[in-house]
Amino acid sequence: MEAALPNFFFHDLHPAPEDFHAEVIAGLRGENKRLPPKLFYDEQGSQLFDAITRLPEYYPTRTEIGLLQRHGPDMAGLVGDDGLLLELGSGSNIKIRILLEALRLQAYAPIDISREFLRLSAGAIAQDHPALQVHAICTDYSKPIELPRCFDTERRTVFFPGSSIGNFEPEQARELMQRVAALLGPDGRLLIGVDLKKDPERLHAAYNDSQGITACFNLNLLTRLNRELDADFDVSAFRHHAFYNEPLGRVEMHLIATIRQRVRVDGCCFEFQTGESIHTENSYKYSVDEFQALAAQAGLIGEAVWQDDDALFSIHCLKAA
Ligand SMILES: C[S@@+](CC[C@H](N)C(=O)[O-])C[C@H]1O[C@@H](n2cnc3c(N)ncnc32)[C@H](O)[C@@H]1O
- pTM value? 0.97
Which atom of ligand 1 is the closest one to the Cα of 143? 19
**Which residue, judged by its Cα, is nearest atom 5 of ligand 1?**
91
Ligand 1 proximal residues by C-beta, below 6 Å? 38, 41, 46, 49, 53, 61, 89-91, 95, 112-114, 140-142, 161-162, 164
What is the atom index within ligand 1 of the atom nearest the CA of 193? 8
* Among the listed residues 142, 190, 202, the one whose alpha carbon sits nearest the alpha carbon of residue 168: 142
Cα(143) to ligand 1 centroid in Å equals 14
Q: Whose CA is nearest to atom 24 of ligand 1?
A: 89
**194 CA to middle of ligand 1, Å?**
14
Give the number of the atom of ligand 1 that is nearest the alpha carbon of residue 45. Answer: 25
| 204 Cα to the center of ligand 1, angstroms | 21
Write down the pLDDT at residue 3. Answer: 52
Q: For residue 49, how far is its CA from the centre of ligand 1 (angstroms)?
A: 9
Ligand 1 centroid to residue 320 C-alpha, Å:
24
pLDDT given at position 239:
98
The string of pLDDT tens digits covering residues 73-114 is 999 999 988 789 999 999 999 999 999 999 999 999 999 999
- Between the CA of 114 and the centroid of ligand 1 the distance, in Å, is 8
Tell me which residues of the chain have a pLDDT lower than 50: 1-2
pLDDT at position 289 = 98
pLDDT at 233: 98
Centre of ligand 1 from the C-alpha of residue 164, in Å: 7
Per-residue pLDDT tens for 174-189? Answer: 999 999 999 998 889 9
Give the ligand 1 atom nearest the CA of 114.
25
In this structure, the residue with its CA closest to atom 14 of ligand 1 is 89
Q: How far is the CA of 40 from the centre of ligand 1 (A)?
A: 9
Residue nearest to atom 13 of ligand 1 (CA): 89
